[in-house]
């Protein structure tokens, strides 16, 4: 039952001290259900302690470990060896940091810079609606929430932004746009005008070309493009 | 090499919050709502506050809805007291339980997408150990956001903290607390990305660094939960409380230990050993697979120990099976959707047709930095450290006693976040922050030692050995011999760690250097856990001594333990508050010392 794979990981490295960039190849023999984060950790312990990479929860709930594997943005904590071999049809993988934020070292990027876009989209209720008299909480029908619930699952891993060709130009990016769209659809938000201004601004949703690359790569299987399409139609 | 380390700059703020998870940012948001003029720093080790571990909590948030005629705060207090094996502080229990629904309202009004019933009201679900009428029936007491309650809370608190103007200092660790005449006046921060040390001076400092699960090999906790908060406290000569009280979840997914919810068993899953025997029938003939968490965890561990476990070749870990194959498709697809998808994602298994590997996984540390009911850090049972506060999982007030009920932790971090915020504001009114001299020398010396260390040891290997040893000897089962071996082996690992060099000398995003520092924190935490467990010759809540399987009144107190030299511990005691019992009020008799039997 225990299969074994002999893998070649070619990892893009960056040393800020010497401003040096290079590719480094590591070979590992591993079982089928190790995750790519387990491989990175093994490289650290067994071969090269200097390789830097990011993760936190390591079960696809925090979105810290996004990297490009053979060009495709993915969460390293969710990618099992066996699945990677099947998906790409090879045991050779080229691993690179995402490009939505500057690289700090090796696979570690400055997520703070990427998050600036989400912060610009105001990821909170700008001005929450007051409670109706006599009520202690809002009443919201499950049907209303169901329309945008999927979008609330976004973990800001920026895989969509990485895949989106428009987001490297002036577009605020799919996940940041979605952060605004969710609040447009939330009946508790009263500041819809300000939100619309941002969504239709220079960096707003009209920069999106509806290629749907975002939906295709989202590890949470959120149909990001669908929400952007709703916003384009004004169907909040 | 050769560059001397230095404090790059000194920053000043009114409130320094160390740890921007659920607890820290609830506190930040509260302070901003009351006092928008104050400057609040929220420091986080992760890349952005949203990445904090609170975001992974699944099940729910316990809070008694005052509109609910069937439930009452008193019932919730009773459950918490009983669940904690009579080791929670009743003043704290009363306060936190009373503040629950206010937090639900706060979250709801600020946009949390709580799950709703058909009428649009907030839904509630049942959770283990939560009852009505002192154990008579199940309570519907946990509000939730589908299977991502923690994420809903995390998103709301970081949004609110951002809106209020909190200054996030990301990818940064606090390495040392700063004091002036006994009062905490800030901390030294190591900005990992930039590789810079800064001194952050503050009117008040709040520790909210979260859990310490990385002490164990198999854990539901994130990579960053290395117990930094308690380690920093110990290095300041202050005590931690009840470190031996560590909760293990019976069903972590092999290998990493990812939490597979209780629902697995409540929906009819059957635990089996390598001979496919449904072994729970032997350990709990009546409740079988539905027995409480700690009993199931011990049973699984016993099966593995007696050679009836199965070895997973990839992760080199022994486990048992959970059999879900007999359950109807709709259970897999609807009720167990999330867990079923975890098995698929992390083990490539289809729970409808295949057995799934599980084993006990470290989950929650009830102990931590001792505080009173206002979140003020204590230096002894009856004295506080002015200017220093602690909240969330790194703190111990103690709500959970020796065993936490599911959903009570999210409740605690919200209520304590707010209460500590209130206290911080009144503290700031009366006090001004004096400046300190020599800030950061201890940190600079420590990191210089790391960079200069020479030898053949390897930080990663030592960490691996420590985690495996702790899981084996200071885990679900503990006994005198094992604990003594653990203490000796930790001392040895600590010696070896001093001979582990760091290859990268450049300070920017020096992961090796950070992990070297974390290793010291892990070792400190591990040592206090092992020593506390060795001292406590009884079994209480999640702390189970095979050689002393019963709870003993002799140990009816909180452990205080300080450690300025590695391994040399100094014990103290803090009495367990029983003010509800002593008040003589209605149902006070329910809050006495009782057996934890369900
Ligand atoms: C998988 C899982 C499921 C759970 N489900 C539930 C549930 O359903 N209900 C429930 O009540 N509880 C649950 N819990 C427990 C609960 O989620 C945690 O106890 C709680 O979220 C901890 O919150 P916190 O704010 O204390 O810490 P965290 O959210 O972990 O935040 C800690 C913060 O401190 C930062 N930090 C750490 N070290 C440093 C340092 N040295 N310097 C600066 N910053 C630092 C971190 O980066 C982070 O920002 C669950 C736990 C897990 C692991
Ligand atoms: S929409 Fe999906 S891919 Fe994009 S940031 Fe959110 S979770 Fe990641
Ligand atoms: S659909 Fe729009 S947002 Fe999504 S990837 Fe294409 S251009 Fe980007």
CATH architecture of residue range(s) A5-108? Roll (3.10)
- How many angstroms separate the alpha carbon of residue A232 from the centre of ligand 3? 12
**Are the C-beta atoms of B59 and B142 separated by less than 8 Å?**
yes
Show me where the domains of chain A are located.
5-108, 111-233
B46 vs B329, residue with greater confidence: B46
CA B97 to mean position of chain CA atoms: 19
pLDDT at B1: 43
From atom 42 of ligand 1, which residue's Cα is the shortest distance away? B173
Does the pLDDT value for residue B496 go beyond 70?
A: yes
DSSP state, residue B220: S
Per the prediction, chain A carries an average pLDDT of 95
Contact of A45 with chain B, judged by CB distance below 8 Å, is answered with yes
Sign for the pseudo-dihedral over CA of B160, B163, B166, B167: positive
Of A2, A15, A64, the CB nearest to B47: A64
Residues in chain A: 236
Find the closest chain B residue to A157 by CA distance: B51
Cβ distance B369 to B207 under 8 Å?
Answer: yes
Chain A stretch 191-210, residues whose beta carbon is closer than 8 A to a beta carbon of chain B? none
B179, HSE (Cβ side, Cα atoms, 13 Å): 14
Q: What residues contact residue B466 under an 8 Å CB cut-off, 6+ apart? A: B215, B490, B493, B519, B522, B523, B526
CB atoms within 10 A of CB B592: 12
In chain B, % of residues over pLDDT 70: 99
Q: d(Cα B482, Cα B501) in Å, to the nearest integer?
A: 30
The predicted model scores a pTM of 0.96
For helices B459-473 and B511-535, the axis angle rounded to 10 degrees is 20
Structure tokens at B460: 């990663």
pLDDT score recorded for residue B124: 94
Q: Tens digit of pLDDT for each residue in B190-236?
A: 999 999 999 999 999 999 999 999 999 999 999 999 999 999 999 99
Measured distance CA(A183)–CA(B302) in Å, rounded: 50
Q: What is the mean pLDDT of chain B?
A: 95
Does domain B442-571 fall under CATH 1.20.58.100? My reply is yes
Nearest alpha-carbon partner for B257 in B403, B412, B56, B393 = B56
* Residue A117 in this model has a pLDDT that exceeds 60: yes
| Residue minimizing CA distance to atom 7 of ligand 2 | A154
Q: Closest Cα to residue B188, out of B438, B520, B536?
A: B438
* Residues whose CB is less than 8 angstroms from the CB of residue B249 and which lie 6 or more positions away in sequence, other chains included: B220, B259, B293, B297, B360, B361, B362, B363
Mean pLDDT confidence for B350-375: 96
pLDDT-wise least confident of B51-55, B106-110, B146-150, B521-525: B146-150
pLDDT band at B3 (very low <50, low <70, confident <90, very high): low
pLDDT interval class at A50 (50, 70, 90): very high
The CATH superfamily assigned to A111-233 is Alpha-helical ferredoxin (1.10.1060.10)
Atom of ligand 2 nearest to the CA of A174: 4
Give the tens place of pLDDT for each residue, A152-201. Answer: 999 999 999 999 987 667 899 999 999 999 999 999 999 999 999 999 99
Are B35 and B15 contacting, i.e. CB atoms less than 8 angstroms apart? no
pLDDT of B561 over the 50 cut: yes
Mean pLDDT of B76-99: 97
Would you place residue A69 in the very low, low, confident or very high pLDDT band (cuts 50, 70, 90)? very high
* pLDDT for position B287: 84
Q: Where are the CATH 1.20.58.100 domain residues in chain B?
A: 442-571
A146 touches chain B (CB under 8 A): no
The string over B320-339, giving b where at least 16 C-beta atoms fall within 10 Å of a residue's C-beta and e elsewhere, is bbbbbeebeeebbeebbeeb
**Overall average pLDDT of the A60-83 stretch:** 97
Banded model confidence at residue B443, pLDDT cuts 50, 70, 90: very high
> Is residue A1 pLDDT above 80, yes or no?
no
Residue with tokens 């998870």: B21
Burial bucket for residue A129 (CB in 10 Å: 0-12, 13-18, 19+) = middle
The rounded distance, in Å, linking the Cα atoms of B65 and B68 is 5
Segments of B144-171 assigned E as strands: 167-169
Mean of the pLDDT values across residues B37-55? Answer: 98
| Amino acid B2: pLDDT | 46
Percent of chain A with pLDDT over 70: 98
Q: Look at B71-80, B251-260, B463-472 and tell me which has the smallest mean pLDDT.
A: B251-260
B 479-538 residues with CB < 8 A to A: 502-506, 508-512
Predicted pLDDT of residue A168? 66
Provide the terminal-to-terminal Cα distance of chain B, rounded to the nearest Å. Answer: 60
pLDDT of residue B187: 97
pLDDT of B264-305, one tens digit each? 888 899 999 999 999 999 998 888 888 888 889 999 999 999
Assign domain B251-363 to a CATH class.
Answer: alpha beta
**Interchain contact A138–B (C-beta under 8 A):** yes
Those of residues 359-418 in B touching chain A at CB distance below 8 A are none
Copy the structure tokens of residue A125: 């209720």
pLDDT band at B506 (very low <50, low <70, confident <90, very high): very high
Please report the atom of ligand 3 found closest to the CA of residue A177. Answer: 3
Give mean pLDDT, residues B46-63.
96
A129-149 pLDDT, tens digit each: 999 999 999 999 999 999 999
Query: What is the distance in A from the centroid of ligand 3 to the CA of A155?
Result: 17
What pLDDT is stored for residue B277 in this prediction? 97
Alpha helices in B238-292 (DSSP H): 263-266, 280-283
In sequence order, the 6+-apart residues with CB closer than 8 A to the CB of B69 are none
B161 SS3 class:
helix
> What is the predicted ipTM?
0.96
């Amino acid at each position: 039952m225990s299969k074994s794979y002999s893998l070649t990981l070619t990892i893009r490295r960056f040393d800020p001290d010497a401003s040096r960039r290079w590719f480094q190849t590591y070979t590992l023999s591993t079982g089928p259900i190790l995750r790519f984060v387990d491989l990175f950790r093994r490289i650290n312990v067994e071969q090269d302690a200097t390789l830097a990479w990011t993760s936190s929860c390591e079960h696809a709930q925090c979105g810290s470990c996004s990297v490009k594997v053979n060009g495709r943005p993915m969460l390293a904590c969710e990618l099992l060896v066996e699945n990677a071999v099947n998906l790409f049809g090879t045991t050779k993988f080229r691993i690179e940091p995402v490009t939505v934020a500057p690289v700090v070292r090796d696979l570690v990027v400055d997520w703070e810079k990427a998050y600036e876009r989400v912060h610009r989209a105001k990821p909170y209720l700008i001005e929450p609606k007051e409670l109706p008299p006599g009520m202690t909480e809002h009443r919201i029908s499950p049907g209303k929430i169901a329309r945008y619930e999927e979008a609330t699952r976004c973990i800001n891993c920026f895989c969509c932004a990485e895949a989106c060709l428009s987001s490297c130009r002036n577009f605020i990016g799919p996940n940041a746009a979605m952060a605004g769209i969710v609040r447009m659809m939330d009946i508790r938000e009263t500041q819809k005008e300000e939100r619309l201004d941002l969504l239709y601004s220079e960096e707003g949703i009209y920069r999106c070309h509806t290629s749907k690359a975002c939906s295709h790569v989202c590890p949470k299987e959120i149909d990001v493009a669908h929400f952007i399409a709703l916003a384009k139609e004004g169907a909040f | 090499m050769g560059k001397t380390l230095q404090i790059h700059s000194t920053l000043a703020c009114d409130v320094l919050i160390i740890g921007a998870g659920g607890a820290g940012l609830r506190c930040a948001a509260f302070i901003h709502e009351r006092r928008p003029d104050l400057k609040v720093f929220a420091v986080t080790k992760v890349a952005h506050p949203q990445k904090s571990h609170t975001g992974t909590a699944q099940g729910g948030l316990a809070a008694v809805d005052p509109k609910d005629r069937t439930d009452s705060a008193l019932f919730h207090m009773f459950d918490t007291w009983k669940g904690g094996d009579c080791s929670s502080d009743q003043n704290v229990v009363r306060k936190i339980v009373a503040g629950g629904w206010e937090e639900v309202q706060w979250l709801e009004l600020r946009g949390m997408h709580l799950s709703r019933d058909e009428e649009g009201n907030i839904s509630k679900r049942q959770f283990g150990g939560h009852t009505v009428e002192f154990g008579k029936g199940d309570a519907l007491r946990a509000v939730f956001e589908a299977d991502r309650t923690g994420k809903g809370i995390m998103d709301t608190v970081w949004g609110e903290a951002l809106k209020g103007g909190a200054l996030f200092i990301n990818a940064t660790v606090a390495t040392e607390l700063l004091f002036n005449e006994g009062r905490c006046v800030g901390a030294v921060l190591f900005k990992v990305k930039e590789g810079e040390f800064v001194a952050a001076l503050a009117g008040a400092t709040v520790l909210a660094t979260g859990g310490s699960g990385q002490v164990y090999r198999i854990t539901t906790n994130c990579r960053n939960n290395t117990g930094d908060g308690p380690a920093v406290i110990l290095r300041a000569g202050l005590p931690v409380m009840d470190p031996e009280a560590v909760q293990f979840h019976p069903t972590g997914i092999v290998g990493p230990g990812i939490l597979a919810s209780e629902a697995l068993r409540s929906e009819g899953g059957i635990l089996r050993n390598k001979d496919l025997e449904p072994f729970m029938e032997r350990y709990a003939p009546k409740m079988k697979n539905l027995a409480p968490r700690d009993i199931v965890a011990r049973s699984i561990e016993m099966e593995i120990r007696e050679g009836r476990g199965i070895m997973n070749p990839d992760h080199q870990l022994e486990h048992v099976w959970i059999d879900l194959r007999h359950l109807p498709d709709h259970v897999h697809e609807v009720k167990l959707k999330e867990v079923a998808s975890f098995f698929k994602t992390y083990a490539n298994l289809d729970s409808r047709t295949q057995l799934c590997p599980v084993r006990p996984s470290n989950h929650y540390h009830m102990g931590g930095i001792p505080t009173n009911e206002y979140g003020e850090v204590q230096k002894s049972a009856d004295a506080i450290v002015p200017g220093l506060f602690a909240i969330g999982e790194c703190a111990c007030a103690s709500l959970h006693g020796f065993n936490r009920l599911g959903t009570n932790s999210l409740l605690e971090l919200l209520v304590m976040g707010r209460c500590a915020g209130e206290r911080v504001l009144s503290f700031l009114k009366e006090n001004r922050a004096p400046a300190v001299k020599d800030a950061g020398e201890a940190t600079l010396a420590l990191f210089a030692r790391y960079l200069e260390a020479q030898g053949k040891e390897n930080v990663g290997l030592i960490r691996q050995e420590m985690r495996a040893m702790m899981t084996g000897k200071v885990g679900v089962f503990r006994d005198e011999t094992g604990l003594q071996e653990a203490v000796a082996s930790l001392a040895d690992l600590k010696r070896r760690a001093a001979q582990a060099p760091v290859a990268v000398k450049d300070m920017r995003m020096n992961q090796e250097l950070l992990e070297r520092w974390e290793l010291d924190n892990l070792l400190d935490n591990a040592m206090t856990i092992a020593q506390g467990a060795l001292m406590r010759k009884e079994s209480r809540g999640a702390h189970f001594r095979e050689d002393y399987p019963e709870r003993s009144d002799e140990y009816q107190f909180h452990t205080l333990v300080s450690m300025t030299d590695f391994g040399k511990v100094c014990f103290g005691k803090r009495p367990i508050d029983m003010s509800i019992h002593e008040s003589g009020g209605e149902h006070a008799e329910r809050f006495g010392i009782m057996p934890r039997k369900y």
